[in-house]
Amino acid sequence: MSLENMIYFNQVNFSYGSHQVLYDLSFSVDRGEFICLTGKSGCGKSTLLRLINGLLDRQDGDIRILGKKIGQWEIHELRRKMGYVLQEGALFPHLTAYQNMCYVMKLNKASSQQCENRISELLPLVNLERDVLNKFPDKLSGGQRQRVGIVRAIAHNPEMVLMDEPFSALDSHTRKSLQDLVKNIHQKLNTTFVMVTHDKEEANLLATRVIRMAEGQIKTLI
Ligand SMILES: Nc1ncnc2c1ncn2[C@@H]1O[C@H](COP(=O)(O)OP(=O)(O)OP(=O)(O)O)[C@@H](O)[C@H]1O
């Protein structure tokens, strides 16, 4: 492990009140890796993701993101270096597909022209037609919503993309095509991915490294 890792955890403990969830957890992620985090329900996978993006405060141990101690990051700055894909896309319902896609780019002060160019570049990568752009999320299929969510996560060129069970609500055909799509995006953009999944096949297909968690610790690195 080195302090230059994209993500570095050293002997991290975390509890919700009196319920300890992570025990002395140490691991690191290098640039360009695709990590799949697996493990039984309740073992602490989502908690780990929330510690990476600063949504939760560690109570003990050392966490560094992009080489900088987590406590030294301005939290909004840290989050804008990341992209997120959650179950069902978790799109903003009051924004169109296009506005959702540009959301973080706008926060990063991109111009309208830069947004337009970037979205035009990414649409073919996620197999979306332009006619979805003006639709609101409730008028999109589950697969389309997740494709919009993926564009939103990568449009601002994040340092890393965090995904929490992104495909679990999709039918198997749509799930398969989105897995292929994410694999292709990882290879093309060489972005670092950390994805929580229950699905071992999915983990083996996508990951450059599978991490299995149990009882709040890392048990196996494959
Ligand atoms: N906000 C919270 N307050 C209190 N306890 C929580 C909270 N969030 C999670 N927990 C508990 O912490 C433990 C780990 O939860 P976490 O969501 O990290 O697990 P997980 O491995 O992601 O589970 P799943 O696969 O079911 O999503 C569980 O026992 C859960 O009940």
Query: Which pLDDT tens digit goes with each residue over 90-111?
Result: 899 999 999 999 999 998 899 9
Q: Is residue 52 part of a domain?
A: yes
Residue 99 near residue 152, CB atoms below 8 Å: no
Q: Is residue 2 part of a domain?
A: no
Block residue for tokens 């908690």: 47
Q: What is the pTM of this model?
A: 0.90
Number of domains in the chain: 1
Q: Is residue 191 part of a domain?
A: yes
Q: Is residue 126 part of a domain?
A: yes
Q: What are the angstrom distances between the C-alpha of 89 and each of 10, 33, 80, 140?
A: 31, 22, 18, 11
Buried b (16+ CB within 10 A) or exposed e, 130-154: eebbeeebeebebbbbbbbbbbbbb
Range(s) of the domain holding residue 141? 7-221
Cα of 14 vs centre of ligand 1, distance in Å, is: 11
Q: Is residue 1 part of a domain?
A: no
Q: Is the shortest distance between the CB of 153 and ligand 1 below 6 Å?
A: no
Cα of 84 vs centre of ligand 1, distance in Å, is: 18
Query: CA nearest 108: which of 170, 155, 144, 67?
Result: 155
| pLDDT category of residue 45 using cuts at 50, 70 and 90 | very high
Residue 39 near residue 213, CB atoms below 8 Å: yes
Q: Is residue 35 part of a domain?
A: yes
CATH of the domain at 97: 3.40.50.300
Cα of 176 vs centre of ligand 1, distance in Å, is: 27
Model-level ipTM above the cut of 0.90: yes
State pLDDT tens for residues 128-158. 999 999 999 999 998 899 899 999 999 999 9
Block residue for tokens 């979205």: 119
